[in-house]
Amino acid sequence: MHRLIGKRLFDLALVIPALLLLAPVFFVVALLVRCKLGSPVLFRQERPGLRGKPFVMLKFRTMTDARGTDGELLPDEDRAHPFGQMLRRTSLDELPELLNVLKGEMSLVGPRPLLMRYLPRYSPEQMRRHETLPGITGLAQVSGRNNLPWEEKFALDVQYVDRCSLWLDIRILLLTVRAVTGAEGVSAGSHFSSPEFMGTAARDRDGKESA
């Protein structure tokens, strides 16, 4: 019942007043992004939503458009900007996702929406993370964020799908505040963000690992 009705009502009850209260913050951050990183202010990217249906996720941009001599974008680490890193560290870059929640494309709490190209790489069990709306924060994010291996993140996502409730959402939101204020697990080891998910190794009938 919470997943079908209560979750949406809970999201709207928090997101509508949050958008009104945070409007000045949106304006200031957008202005600073425009001055320090250029245009466009918002980063838009297609991500898989409920049941894998694509939607356009919104974030404040945190990197420059620096390119190499071949015209290709440089790696994330080379396009990082101190101001953008501050936005990521404080999770202010995630604020525009509140608009995705308002539109019903995301929820405050749920598995993080990843890249469309990951869809065929999931195991059937991992694919279950798309049985609920993706979230701005989730069980994996308050359990280590980017420091966790992919398989552990996906296991926590499926665990959330199975245990979804109002009280779990409230607990995750409270833990998110602690994680964000402590800037825990924003980067994964030597990576600026999470490394590419290439798929989970599966064992064939002979017990050997295959990609």
Pairing of β 135-137 and β 107-109 = parallel
In contact, 76 and 57? CB cutoff 8 Å: no
Domain boundaries, the chain: 2-184
- pTM comes to 0.86
Q: Of the candidates 82, 79, 54, 85, which has an alpha carbon nearest to the alpha carbon of residue 67?
A: 79
Residue 141 to residue 204: CA distance in whole angstroms: 32
Per-residue pLDDT of the chain (211 residues; tens, 9 = 90+): 677 788 999 999 999 999 999 999 999 999 999 999 989 999 999 999 999 999 999 999 998 887 877 777 777 777 888 899 899 888 899 999 999 999 999 999 999 999 999 999 999 999 999 999 999 999 998 986 567 889 999 999 999 999 999 999 999 999 998 877 775 544 444 445 678 899 975 433 334 433 3
Please report the pLDDT score of residue 202 as a whole number: 43
